Amino acid sequence: MDNIYLFMLIAITVLAVVDIVVGVSNDAINFLNSAIGSKAISIRTIMIVASLGIFMGAVFSSGMMEVARKGIFVPAMFSFEEIMYIFMAVMITDILLLDFFNTLGLPTSTTVSIVFNLLGAAVVMSLIKITASESQTLADLGSYINTKKAIEIISGIVMSVFIAFSVGALVQWVSRLVFTFQFEAKKKYFGVVFGGISLATILYFILLKGLKGTPYYKNIASFMDGNELYIVIGSLALCVLFSYAFQKITKKSVLLVVIAVGTFGLALAFAGNDLVNFIGVPMAAFHSYEAMQHAFLTVGTLPADFSMSVLEKKVPAEPLLLFIAGAIMVLTLWFSKKAKTVAETEISLSNQGDTDEKFEPNMLSRGIVRGTTDLSNYLSAIVPKSIQQKIEKSFEKPSAKALTKTQSKDLPAFDMIRASVNLMVAGVLIAIATSMKLPLSTTYVTFMVAMGTSFADRAWGRDSAVYRVAGVLNVIGGWFGTAIGAFIAAGTVVFLVNWNPKVMTPILLLLTAILLIRNYLSHKESSNKTIAEDSLTDSESSSVQGVIHESAKNIANVIKRGNKIYSNSINGLAKQDTSLLKKNKKQVIKLSEEVDSLRDNIFYFIKNLDESSLNASNFYINILGYLQDMTQSLDYISKMSHKHVNNNHKKLKFSQIKELKEIDERFELFFNNTQEAFNSRSFEQIGEILGRKKEILELVTSKILKQIQRTRTEESSPKNTTLYFNLLSETKDLLTATMNLLEEYNEAHDSTVTPATIDVDPIIEAKKEE
């Protein structure tokens, strides 16, 4: 017996552990986001509840790994070695694919990933067998592959996307219509009924989805079958009574319990039903190896026609294996940083307030938003005004202080009503699909329900809709990308393994390890990024003098970074250093984005000022305008320099470089003095710096006149002439913008006035303390 198969089995077992880690990191969003987004329960409590659900779901899992064993392909049509090649390819590609989505922070379906990995590997292996056969043709592919299952899953994807979104939107719209955004006033009566319905629904979902199919379900099956209606009515009554008693005794909303129980239920269902995605293939590989070893020991050699029909039998998983898998899943939930990254995607897309949008709008998202807006306008024209006014009143948000995007991060992304609807609707849809034996992905259902409730709750306003819709389209596109990518990747890997298993298996495993480590380090670096020392910060002062003092650090940082960008542009041109100029472009883009971010917060700055502080807003707008002018000049200089060198145009003459260096040295002195004045808050020095304005402008003008003379007498390169004139022209614009900024500070600064600041919002501070 060849040791290569034992090596493969060990490798598949190790890969199974990694697969659990990357799989849980992605699927954790399914049951965590409603609780995390509402911030109704502490993170620690959420994690404990979810951990219990995962562990119980894993231990109570049926372990019937039918999908991996015979759901996609017909095992009897393949030999032992072919099955091992398929399973090896599936594990490698499944891990890499899920880890790729985790690194991007996009949710995907572990079910679709494993199914299409199996399908891709099995199809390619079947084609290899058909090609080698003299009697079979491509028409015989259907005898190898279970095409019906694949079609069911694809149809399930499409159906779940539209149904989950539509039902989630409808239930949330009705719930908001009843409770409004000020549901605290209505929770005494409506809250009890709503909480009771939600709890009863979720508990029924736990019984049907979480326990059905497990060995333990048969103990209560005789009681459940035929009595579903009575059980639902009875549990509804008990849950309503419990909700009333809970609110009466604790003086807290029963929605806290709904969110906790719903999180537990989804976690239980996830572990109990998606465990096959992680350990189904390794178990099937083990049983294949066991059957082969038994045949080898019986006859002394492996029969040439030895098939894997043994995989068609139902073999439950060992309890110890399920226990270990559950423990790994729980540990992953607690320690995986990538799970947090994926969770942030869904929460940002469903956030009720303003937030930093993660996705850029595209043509399709703009078209959808425009079409939806037109439809809304049409409906508004035919719905009576009185009805519209009543609906609008239900969707009125309580008046509150305008918060910046940074401040909004400290508050819940949405309220407990939406969190409860998310959990309740997702549970109902999954339970219905289970009872009807329809293929369904928990990821698709939970994500699209969350998006539907966000849409109905008007979280996607005119200012954010194109970004949110683009995000949803990106995620949905990623789901189909999962299927296509898994199919192609698994097929490619199984082809390579079959070509030379002894050589390709170690190489592919090594490549997998390298890619996983690289993704881990890349994600760690991006997630651990701290705010740079010279990054820009929002102003929160309410007076001109306060803004002057508070924004001084920003000005000093822009001057410091601008000085470096300008010098690097000149040095890059002098040395023809493409690498330096390329890095310089990135730096100026980053600076421009930070200045744009400050301008984005002008609305919140002005909204939070009182009548006596309006001059502060005018001053703040002016200095941000000058900062933007400065970054635009730096951006043009940087891009122009990089383009010239990157296109291999003729180098600037020595005299031109010398003149640019002279200007750079003068600018460096000017920038350093300015930076020192703002860092030390010595605003009196600004007048002295402004006195040198004429001197510096005359220096730049003199260089322009010299270039004009050179062009008339000796210059022969149009590109060089254009570059040099543009550089000097933008240098003058940069100097003018900087001087205007300094003049604004010089005129506004009054050392006799004590700076005033905006009061800190006590709500935000309370949330931070929690």
Cβ(156)–Cβ(439) below 8 Å: yes
DSSP per-residue codes, 253-319:
-THHHHHHHHHHHHHHHHHHHHTHHHHHHHHHHHHHHHHHHHHHHHHSS--TT-B-GGGGS--PPPH
Give the whole-angstrom CA distance, residue 417 versus residue 255: 7
pLDDT at 1: 44
pLDDT at 770: 43
Closest CA to 453 of 565, 335, 351, 326: 351
Residue 35 has pLDDT above 70, yes or no: yes
Cβ(350)–Cβ(453) below 8 Å: yes
What is the phi/psi pair of residue 65, to 5°? -85, 60
**Tokens of residue 293, six digits:** 């070893």
Minimum mean pLDDT range among 514-528, 594-608, 643-657? 594-608
Average pLDDT over residues 747-770: 50
* 3-class secondary structure, 751: coil
Angle between helical axes of 255-274 and 416-435 (0-180°, round to 10): 40
Q: Note the pLDDT tens digit of each residue in 702-727.
A: 888 888 887 777 766 788 888 888 89
Give the whole-angstrom CA distance, residue 465 versus residue 463: 6
Question: How crowded is residue 184: how many other Cβ atoms within 10 Å of its Cβ?
Answer: 13
Closest CA to 641 of 739, 579, 743, 570: 570
Q: In the 8-state DSSP scheme, what is residue 650?
A: P
Residue 69 has pLDDT above 80, yes or no: no
Cβ(663)–Cβ(699) below 8 Å: yes
Q: Is residue 758 very low, low, confident or very high in pLDDT (cuts 50, 70, 90)?
A: very low
**Tokens of residue 81, six digits:** 């070695």
Q: Is residue 537 very low, low, confident or very high in pLDDT (cuts 50, 70, 90)?
A: low
What is the phi/psi pair of residue 79, to 5°? -85, 175
Q: What is the CA radius of gyration of the chain?
A: 32
Residue 37 has pLDDT above 70, yes or no: yes
Residue 730 has pLDDT above 50, yes or no: yes
Cβ(89)–Cβ(494) below 8 Å: yes
Q: Is residue 538 very low, low, confident or very high in pLDDT (cuts 50, 70, 90)?
A: low
DSSP per-residue codes, 316-355:
PPPHHHHHHHHHHHHHHHHH-HHHHHHHHHHHHHT-SS--
Residue 207 has pLDDT above 60, yes or no: yes
Q: Note the pLDDT tens digit of each residue in 107-128.
A: 787 878 888 888 899 899 999 9
Give the whole-angstrom CA distance, residue 488 versus residue 484: 6
Residue 530 has pLDDT above 50, yes or no: no
Question: How crowded is residue 740: how many other Cβ atoms within 10 Å of its Cβ?
Answer: 15
* First CA to last CA distance, the chain: 62
pLDDT at 763: 40
Angle at 451 between CA 767 and CA 160, to 5 degrees: 140
Give the chain's mean pLDDT: 79
Q: Note the pLDDT tens digit of each residue in 467-502.
A: 889 988 888 888 888 888 999 999 999 999 999 888
Q: Is 106 left (phi over 0), alpha (psi -120 to 50) or beta?
A: beta
**Tokens of residue 187, six digits:** 């929770």
DSSP per-residue codes, 489-540:
HHHHHHHHHHH-HHHHHHHHHHHHHHHHHHHHHHHHHHHTPPPPTT------
**Tokens of residue 732, six digits:** 């003058």
Look up residue 187 and give its amino acid. K
Q: Is residue 754 very low, low, confident or very high in pLDDT (cuts 50, 70, 90)?
A: low
Q: In the 8-state DSSP scheme, what is residue 139?
A: G
pLDDT at 157: 67
pLDDT at 764: 41
Helices (H), 133-191: 147-179
Q: Is residue 27 very low, low, confident or very high in pLDDT (cuts 50, 70, 90)?
A: confident
Residue 336 has pLDDT above 80, yes or no: no
Contacts of residue 11, Cβ cutoff 8 Å, sequence gap at least 6 = 88, 91, 505, 509
Give the whole-angstrom CA distance, residue 250 versus residue 256: 11
User: Across 54-68, 290-304, 455-469, which has the greatest mean pLDDT?
Assistant: 455-469
**Tokens of residue 165, six digits:** 């979104």
Give the whole-angstrom CA distance, residue 682 versus residue 689: 12
Higher pLDDT, 507 or 235: 507
Alpha-carbon separation of residue 148 from 71, 151, 626 (angstroms) = 9, 5, 64
Average pLDDT over residues 609-616: 62
Average pLDDT over residues 564-573: 92
pTM, rounded to two decimals? 0.76
Cβ(652)–Cβ(724) below 8 Å: yes
Residue 286 has pLDDT above 70, yes or no: yes
**Tokens of residue 175, six digits:** 């719930």
**Tokens of residue 56, six digits:** 């119980």
Average pLDDT over residues 616-638: 86
Residue 435 has pLDDT above 70, yes or no: no
Burial 462-481 (b: 16+ CB within 10 A, else e): eebbbbbbbbbbbbbebbeb
Average pLDDT over residues 380-392: 85
Alpha-carbon separation of residue 72 from 64, 419, 436 (angstroms) = 14, 36, 20
Q: Note the pLDDT tens digit of each residue in 453-472.
A: 999 888 888 778 898 899 88
Q: Is 128 exposed, middle or buried (0-12, 13-18, 19+ CB in 10 A)?
A: middle
Residue 614 has pLDDT above 70, yes or no: no
Cβ(744)–Cβ(626) below 8 Å: yes
Give the whole-angstrom CA distance, residue 287 versus residue 281: 10
Minimum mean pLDDT range among 37-41, 193-197, 336-340, 742-746? 336-340
pLDDT at 345: 77
pLDDT at 33: 83
Minimum mean pLDDT range among 196-200, 344-348, 576-580? 344-348
pLDDT at 2: 58
